[in-house]
Structure 1
Amino acid sequence: MTQLLGEFDCKLDAKGRLMVPSALKKQLPNAEEEGLIVNRGFEKNLIIYPKSVWDAILLDLSKLNVYEKENREFIRAFTRGATILSLDAAGRVLLPKSLVDYAGIGSDLVLACQLDRIELWDKKAYEDSFDNVPENFANLAQKVMGGKKGGTDGE
């Protein structure tokens, strides 16, 4: 199972290309052969998935009953804009302009690893998102994770 770690400040070049940081590239050993998938996030950001993670998500989506309108709407909205990213010889990926525009990404951005995926944010939007972190993070942790035995063993 892919477990990514780190937060990386990056820049887009004039052509909309992103240099994948070497420390992140080391965590994605199959990215050059399999590619990565970029898509819209639930917030105004983008998500980059390793191909194997994206394939597992598609498998889950394929189990939804497409005769139910909400399921069709969700599948349509979730997969809208999904694009395969290929690393070039210099380790860069070209981000689709439509997705960059959707997320309001300027030249400065942040790649934030979140378990098995990478959130891609405009740097200012990412920093501003922490203004909305609950005042009492400990209460949030208890609410979200409090039922887990031992707190870290995943039971």
Structure 2
Amino acid sequence: MITGRLSLLIKVQKEREESLQAQFIKAQQAFLQAEAKYQGLANYRTEYIQQSLEQGSSGLGGRQFNQYVNFISKLDQALTQQGRVVQQSRNVAEQRRQSWLKMQTKRKALEKLVEQALLKAQISADKQQQKLADEYALQRFYQQLQLAEQESNF
């Protein structure tokens, strides 16, 4: 029956949906980790600059100043790279979320189709049952009518 095949298809869709959901969760976690790493780098950069300013107020040599500037430059590069990682992981998470939601929509549409097919089958069965009940009642009526006629003929 068609509902049996659709039920099997729904089962497969659910499995795919669960797989896509797991992929989304994993991608979302990767995004959150990348974002936390970015925030950690940004906080470290801010603290490092703060320390540099504090030490600079008591006087710095040219070499030490260049080391601070170079290190801050490397932190900026690391922040830029990590910013790209954050954006990429955000994009991947969003793509995975969209795939998961699409599969969820397909599954729900199939479930609705099965529900409609079952309802249609139930309505058809109810009509058939009512038709049989009507035919039985009509036959009983005719039998009783014939019995009444036979009794009146005696």
TM-score (norm 2): 0.26
User: Does 1 or 2 have the higher relative contact order (CA < 8 Å, sep 6+)?
Assistant: 2
Structure with a larger share of its residues in helix: 2
Q: Which has the larger radius of gyration?
A: 2
TM-score (norm 1): 0.26
Structure with a larger share of its residues in strand: 1
